[in-house]
Amino acid sequence: MSVAIFDSGLGGLTVWQAVTRRLPDLKVSYYGDNANAPYGTRTADDVHALTVAAVTKMWETDDLVVLACNTASAAALRRMQEAGVPPGKRVLGVFVPLIEALTERNWGDNSPPREVAVNQVALFATPATVASRAFQRELAFRAIGVDVEAQACGGVVDAIEDGDMILADALVKSHVDALKRKMPKPDAAILGCTHYPLVAESFQAALGPDVTVFSQADIVAESLADYLSRRPEMAEGGQARMVTTGDPVRVSSRATQFLRRPITFEAA
Protein backbone atom coordinates (compact mmCIF):
# COMPACT_ATOMS: atom_id res chain seq x y z
CA MET A 1 0.00 0.00 0.00
CA SER A 2 1.17 3.54 -0.65
CA VAL A 3 0.01 7.16 -0.51
CA ALA A 4 0.32 9.89 -3.11
CA ILE A 5 -0.51 13.59 -3.26
CA PHE A 6 -1.88 15.03 -6.51
CA ASP A 7 -2.10 18.63 -7.69
CA SER A 8 -2.34 20.43 -10.98
CA GLY A 9 0.96 22.11 -10.22
CA LEU A 10 3.17 22.99 -7.28
CA GLY A 11 0.59 24.13 -4.74
CA GLY A 12 0.02 20.63 -3.44
CA LEU A 13 3.62 20.60 -2.24
CA THR A 14 2.36 22.56 0.77
CA VAL A 15 0.21 19.52 1.64
CA TRP A 16 3.00 17.07 0.77
CA GLN A 17 5.39 18.91 3.09
CA ALA A 18 2.85 19.02 5.93
CA VAL A 19 2.07 15.31 5.52
CA THR A 20 5.74 14.27 5.48
CA ARG A 21 6.36 16.43 8.54
CA ARG A 22 3.35 14.99 10.40
CA LEU A 23 4.05 11.38 9.28
CA PRO A 24 7.83 11.18 8.82
CA ASP A 25 7.87 7.39 8.39
CA LEU A 26 5.20 7.39 5.67
CA LYS A 27 6.32 6.98 2.06
CA VAL A 28 4.49 9.75 0.21
CA SER A 29 4.68 10.29 -3.55
CA TYR A 30 3.77 13.49 -5.39
CA TYR A 31 2.30 13.91 -8.87
CA GLY A 32 2.10 17.36 -10.42
CA ASP A 33 0.24 17.83 -13.71
CA ASN A 34 2.34 20.90 -14.47
CA ALA A 35 1.96 20.50 -18.22
CA ASN A 36 -1.75 21.28 -17.86
CA ALA A 37 -1.60 23.77 -14.97
CA PRO A 38 -3.40 25.80 -13.88
CA TYR A 39 -6.73 23.96 -13.55
CA GLY A 40 -8.46 26.96 -12.00
CA THR A 41 -9.46 28.56 -15.29
CA ARG A 42 -10.58 25.35 -17.02
CA THR A 43 -14.12 24.02 -17.37
CA ALA A 44 -15.42 21.44 -14.89
CA ASP A 45 -15.42 18.74 -17.58
CA ASP A 46 -11.79 19.50 -18.51
CA VAL A 47 -10.73 19.34 -14.86
CA HIS A 48 -12.62 16.07 -14.37
CA ALA A 49 -10.99 14.47 -17.42
CA LEU A 50 -7.48 15.59 -16.44
CA THR A 51 -7.95 14.47 -12.83
CA VAL A 52 -9.28 11.05 -13.80
CA ALA A 53 -6.38 10.53 -16.19
CA ALA A 54 -3.81 11.51 -13.57
CA VAL A 55 -5.31 9.51 -10.71
CA THR A 56 -5.75 6.44 -12.91
CA LYS A 57 -2.04 6.68 -13.73
CA MET A 58 -1.17 7.11 -10.05
CA TRP A 59 -3.21 4.06 -9.07
CA GLU A 60 -0.71 1.95 -11.00
CA THR A 61 1.79 2.47 -8.17
CA ASP A 62 -0.20 4.08 -5.33
CA ASP A 63 -3.35 2.96 -3.53
CA LEU A 64 -4.51 6.12 -1.74
CA VAL A 65 -4.50 9.40 -3.69
CA VAL A 66 -5.21 12.72 -2.01
CA LEU A 67 -6.43 15.44 -4.37
CA ALA A 68 -4.44 18.32 -2.91
CA CYS A 69 -6.13 20.58 -5.43
CA ASN A 70 -9.36 22.33 -4.53
CA THR A 71 -10.35 22.71 -8.17
CA ALA A 72 -9.96 18.97 -8.75
CA SER A 73 -11.76 18.19 -5.49
CA ALA A 74 -14.62 20.48 -6.51
CA ALA A 75 -14.99 19.31 -10.11
CA ALA A 76 -13.93 15.67 -10.05
CA LEU A 77 -13.98 13.99 -6.64
CA ARG A 78 -17.70 13.36 -6.26
CA ARG A 79 -18.04 12.18 -9.86
CA MET A 80 -15.11 9.80 -9.43
CA GLN A 81 -16.46 8.34 -6.21
CA GLU A 82 -19.96 7.93 -7.65
CA ALA A 83 -18.53 6.19 -10.72
CA GLY A 84 -16.70 3.77 -8.43
CA VAL A 85 -13.00 3.26 -7.81
CA PRO A 86 -11.00 0.06 -8.36
CA PRO A 87 -10.91 -2.47 -5.48
CA GLY A 88 -8.30 -1.56 -2.89
CA LYS A 89 -7.93 2.01 -4.18
CA ARG A 90 -9.05 5.27 -2.56
CA VAL A 91 -9.28 8.91 -3.60
CA LEU A 92 -9.82 11.69 -1.06
CA GLY A 93 -10.23 15.46 -1.33
CA VAL A 94 -9.28 18.50 0.72
CA PHE A 95 -12.70 20.09 1.36
CA VAL A 96 -13.83 17.71 4.09
CA PRO A 97 -10.92 18.31 6.51
CA LEU A 98 -11.28 22.06 6.05
CA ILE A 99 -15.01 22.03 6.78
CA GLU A 100 -14.43 19.78 9.79
CA ALA A 101 -12.00 22.35 11.18
CA LEU A 102 -14.25 25.30 10.39
CA THR A 103 -17.38 23.77 11.94
CA GLU A 104 -15.59 21.77 14.67
CA ARG A 105 -17.59 18.72 13.59
CA ASN A 106 -16.27 15.33 12.48
CA TRP A 107 -17.49 14.23 9.05
CA GLY A 108 -19.01 11.12 10.63
CA ASP A 109 -21.33 13.34 12.68
CA ASN A 110 -24.56 13.00 10.71
CA SER A 111 -26.73 15.10 13.02
CA PRO A 112 -28.67 17.97 11.39
CA PRO A 113 -26.83 21.18 10.45
CA ARG A 114 -26.43 23.58 13.36
CA GLU A 115 -25.04 26.98 14.19
CA VAL A 116 -21.26 27.21 14.50
CA ALA A 117 -18.82 29.75 15.90
CA VAL A 118 -18.36 31.71 12.67
CA ASN A 119 -21.03 33.60 10.74
CA GLN A 120 -19.14 35.56 8.09
CA VAL A 121 -16.68 33.50 6.03
CA ALA A 122 -14.52 34.74 3.18
CA LEU A 123 -13.56 32.10 0.63
CA PHE A 124 -10.55 32.77 -1.58
CA ALA A 125 -10.20 30.26 -4.40
CA THR A 126 -9.60 29.78 -8.10
CA PRO A 127 -12.33 30.85 -10.53
CA ALA A 128 -13.27 27.19 -11.19
CA THR A 129 -13.61 26.36 -7.49
CA VAL A 130 -15.72 29.47 -6.88
CA ALA A 131 -17.96 28.66 -9.86
CA SER A 132 -18.54 25.11 -8.61
CA ARG A 133 -19.97 26.30 -5.26
CA ALA A 134 -18.71 22.97 -3.90
CA PHE A 135 -17.50 24.51 -0.65
CA GLN A 136 -20.86 26.11 0.08
CA ARG A 137 -22.67 22.88 -0.81
CA GLU A 138 -20.57 20.75 1.52
CA LEU A 139 -20.71 23.34 4.30
CA ALA A 140 -24.51 23.40 4.15
CA PHE A 141 -24.58 19.75 5.25
CA ARG A 142 -22.85 20.71 8.51
CA ALA A 143 -23.74 24.30 9.42
CA ILE A 144 -26.54 26.85 9.26
CA GLY A 145 -26.41 30.62 9.52
CA VAL A 146 -23.02 30.92 7.82
CA ASP A 147 -22.72 33.60 5.12
CA VAL A 148 -19.99 32.68 2.63
CA GLU A 149 -18.64 35.35 0.29
CA ALA A 150 -16.39 33.90 -2.40
CA GLN A 151 -13.65 35.76 -4.22
CA ALA A 152 -12.15 34.29 -7.39
CA CYS A 153 -8.43 35.01 -7.20
CA GLY A 154 -7.42 35.12 -10.82
CA GLY A 155 -3.69 35.26 -11.52
CA VAL A 156 -2.42 34.22 -8.09
CA VAL A 157 -1.66 30.60 -9.02
CA ASP A 158 0.05 31.67 -12.25
CA ALA A 159 2.25 34.14 -10.38
CA ILE A 160 3.23 31.52 -7.79
CA GLU A 161 3.97 28.90 -10.47
CA ASP A 162 6.14 31.48 -12.27
CA GLY A 163 7.97 32.28 -9.05
CA ASP A 164 6.87 35.93 -9.14
CA MET A 165 6.00 36.38 -5.46
CA ILE A 166 5.93 40.19 -5.71
CA LEU A 167 3.11 39.94 -8.23
CA ALA A 168 1.41 37.24 -6.16
CA ASP A 169 1.48 39.47 -3.06
CA ALA A 170 0.03 42.40 -5.02
CA LEU A 171 -2.74 40.23 -6.45
CA VAL A 172 -3.61 38.90 -2.98
CA LYS A 173 -4.04 42.45 -1.67
CA SER A 174 -6.22 43.33 -4.66
CA HIS A 175 -8.45 40.29 -4.18
CA VAL A 176 -8.79 40.87 -0.44
CA ASP A 177 -9.78 44.48 -1.11
CA ALA A 178 -12.43 43.25 -3.57
CA LEU A 179 -13.75 40.76 -1.02
CA LYS A 180 -13.95 43.40 1.70
CA ARG A 181 -16.12 45.57 -0.52
CA LYS A 182 -18.66 42.73 -0.44
CA MET A 183 -18.03 41.50 3.12
CA PRO A 184 -16.30 44.23 5.19
CA LYS A 185 -15.79 42.21 8.39
CA PRO A 186 -15.39 38.46 7.89
CA ASP A 187 -14.91 36.29 10.98
CA ALA A 188 -12.79 33.77 9.13
CA ALA A 189 -11.12 33.31 5.79
CA ILE A 190 -10.62 30.08 3.86
CA LEU A 191 -7.58 29.81 1.63
CA GLY A 192 -9.31 27.47 -0.82
CA CYS A 193 -6.31 26.61 -2.96
CA THR A 194 -3.25 24.68 -1.87
CA HIS A 195 -1.01 27.24 -3.58
CA TYR A 196 -2.22 29.94 -1.22
CA PRO A 197 -0.31 28.85 1.93
CA LEU A 198 2.76 30.09 0.07
CA VAL A 199 1.28 33.61 0.38
CA ALA A 200 -0.65 33.05 3.62
CA GLU A 201 1.17 35.91 5.33
CA SER A 202 0.00 38.25 2.57
CA PHE A 203 -3.61 37.15 3.06
CA GLN A 204 -3.36 37.60 6.83
CA ALA A 205 -1.77 41.05 6.52
CA ALA A 206 -4.42 42.22 4.07
CA LEU A 207 -7.30 40.79 6.12
CA GLY A 208 -6.05 42.04 9.47
CA PRO A 209 -5.26 40.30 12.77
CA ASP A 210 -8.90 39.83 13.80
CA VAL A 211 -9.65 37.41 10.95
CA THR A 212 -8.88 33.72 11.53
CA VAL A 213 -7.24 32.33 8.39
CA PHE A 214 -7.73 28.62 7.69
CA SER A 215 -4.94 27.21 5.53
CA GLN A 216 -5.31 23.65 4.36
CA ALA A 217 -1.89 22.02 4.55
CA ASP A 218 -1.67 21.20 8.27
CA ILE A 219 -5.42 20.52 8.51
CA VAL A 220 -5.25 17.96 5.69
CA ALA A 221 -2.11 16.37 7.15
CA GLU A 222 -3.78 15.88 10.53
CA SER A 223 -6.90 14.47 8.88
CA LEU A 224 -4.83 12.04 6.82
CA ALA A 225 -2.97 10.92 9.95
CA ASP A 226 -6.31 10.16 11.60
CA TYR A 227 -7.55 8.34 8.48
CA LEU A 228 -4.44 6.15 8.31
CA SER A 229 -4.58 5.39 12.05
CA ARG A 230 -7.90 3.67 11.31
CA ARG A 231 -6.57 2.00 8.14
CA PRO A 232 -2.95 1.18 8.95
CA GLU A 233 -2.67 -1.24 6.03
CA MET A 234 -2.75 1.75 3.65
CA ALA A 235 0.39 3.21 5.22
CA GLU A 236 2.63 0.20 4.75
CA GLY A 237 5.41 -0.08 2.16
CA GLY A 238 5.46 1.94 -1.03
CA GLN A 239 8.07 4.37 -2.27
CA ALA A 240 8.31 8.13 -2.41
CA ARG A 241 8.48 9.49 -5.97
CA MET A 242 8.21 13.08 -7.21
CA VAL A 243 6.65 13.03 -10.67
CA THR A 244 5.60 15.77 -13.09
CA THR A 245 4.03 15.96 -16.53
CA GLY A 246 6.00 19.15 -17.08
CA ASP A 247 9.72 19.85 -17.48
CA PRO A 248 11.37 18.02 -14.55
CA VAL A 249 14.32 20.45 -14.39
CA ARG A 250 12.12 23.55 -14.26
CA VAL A 251 9.64 21.99 -11.84
CA SER A 252 12.45 20.79 -9.56
CA SER A 253 13.93 24.30 -9.52
CA ARG A 254 10.58 25.90 -8.65
CA ALA A 255 9.82 23.27 -6.00
CA THR A 256 13.22 23.79 -4.39
CA GLN A 257 12.60 27.54 -4.37
CA PHE A 258 9.13 27.17 -2.77
CA LEU A 259 10.07 24.66 -0.07
CA ARG A 260 13.62 25.92 0.50
CA ARG A 261 14.96 22.37 0.33
CA PRO A 262 16.28 20.27 -2.56
CA ILE A 263 13.40 18.64 -4.46
CA THR A 264 14.00 16.53 -7.57
CA PHE A 265 11.18 15.57 -9.95
CA GLU A 266 11.19 12.91 -12.62
CA ALA A 267 9.13 12.80 -15.81
CA ALA A 268 5.72 11.12 -15.61
101 plus 89 within the same structural domain: no
The model carries a pTM of 0.88
Q: Answer whether residue 263 shows pLDDT above 70.
A: yes
Residue 111 has what pLDDT? Answer: 80
Boundary-marking domain end, from 196, 216, 236: 216
Task: Tell me, yes or no, whether 192 and 101 share the same domain.
Answer: yes
Do 71 and 28 share a domain, yes or no? yes
- What are the pLDDT digits (tens) for 135-187? 998 898 889 999 999 999 999 999 988 889 999 999 999 999 999 999 999 99
Structural domain count of the chain: 2
pLDDT in tens, 53-75: 999 999 999 999 999 999 999 99
Are residues 204 and 166 part of one domain? yes
Indicate if 130 and 196 belong to the same structural domain: yes
If asked whether residues 10 and 73 sit together in one domain, one would say yes
Chosen domain end from 200, 216, 232:
216
Contact between 183 and 147 under an 8 Å Cβ cutoff? The reply is yes
Range of the domain at 189: 96-216
| 105 and 86 belong to one structural domain | no
Q: 111-123: per-residue pLDDT in tens? A: 888 899 999 999 9
Same domain, yes or no, for 212 and 110? yes
Q: Do 137 and 179 belong together in one domain?
A: yes
236 — pLDDT class (breaks 50, 70, 90): confident
Q: Do 256 and 144 belong to one domain?
A: no
Catalytic residues: 69, 193
* Average pLDDT in the chain: 92
Cβ distance 142 to 113 under 8 Å? Answer: yes
User: Residue 1's pLDDT is what?
Assistant: 62
Provide the strand spans (E) within the chain. 3-7, 28-32, 64-67, 90-92, 114-115, 120-125, 143-144, 147-152, 188-191, 212-215, 242-244, 266-267
Residues 202 and 179 in one domain: yes
Specify the CATH number for the domain of residue 136: 3.40.50.1860
The predicted structure's pLDDT at residue 122: 97
* pLDDT value of position 86: 94
Tell whether 100 and 203 lie within a shared domain. yes
Mean pLDDT of 185-208: 95
Per-residue burial over 236-259, b if 16 or more Cβ lie within 10 Å, else e, is eebeebbbbbbebeebbebbeebe
